Structure 1
Amino acid sequence: MVSEPTVVDATNRIYESLQADNVDIDVHIATLKAALTRAGLKEAVFDPSRLVQNNRSGRKLMQAYFRQRGVTVKFSDS
């Protein structure tokens, strides 16, 4: 049996995708959405220091893009 990706796995894949110019980002967002649902979570938390565009507009753009795909994004205070 293949285990389903965890929220952490899916989040890490999104960081990797962002670093790779958003390759397969929609696939990774869908994986994250499913992992959040399985975990009973309502939102994904990202570390802003790991983002390519760690500025207010970059974070807002990311939140809007993910929201359109059904995932609420929050940022940790690291």
Structure 2
Amino acid sequence: MTEPSIADATNRIYESLQADNADIDTHIALLKAALAREGLKEATFDPARLVQNNRSGRKRMQAYFRQRGVTVKFSEQ
């Protein structure tokens, strides 16, 4: 079984967010591993695909991911 790419892990996180955060910690760990394999330190998310696309929701997401070792940035809208 191959390891998921950053894009695959990011898509799984979007799906998890849509499903009321089901298995979010597992998907964050997969994203963290994918970032490490690519030598990257941060993940970029599209705010339009977030369930709660407001400042509070984005900041909460950044804080939650940061606690798990992943820096989150958002693409420009």
What secondary structure, in the 3-state scheme, does the structure 2 residue paired with 1:74 have? strand
Q: Map Cα deviations across residues 21-72 of structure 1 (whole Å, 9 max, x no partner).
A: 0000000000000000001111000000000000000000000000000000
Amino acid at match of 2:60: L
CA RMSD of aligned residues (A): 0.5
Q: Note the residue ranges of structure 2 that are not aligned, 5 or more in a row.
A: none
Number of aligned residues: 77
Q: TM-score, normalised by structure 2?
A: 0.98
Percent identical among aligned pairs is 81
Q: TM-score, normalised by structure 1?
A: 0.97
Distance 2:25 2:11 in 1: 14
Distance 1:70 1:34 in 2: 10
Deviation above 2 Å: which 4+ runs of structure 1?
none
Distance 1:39 1:19 in 2: 26
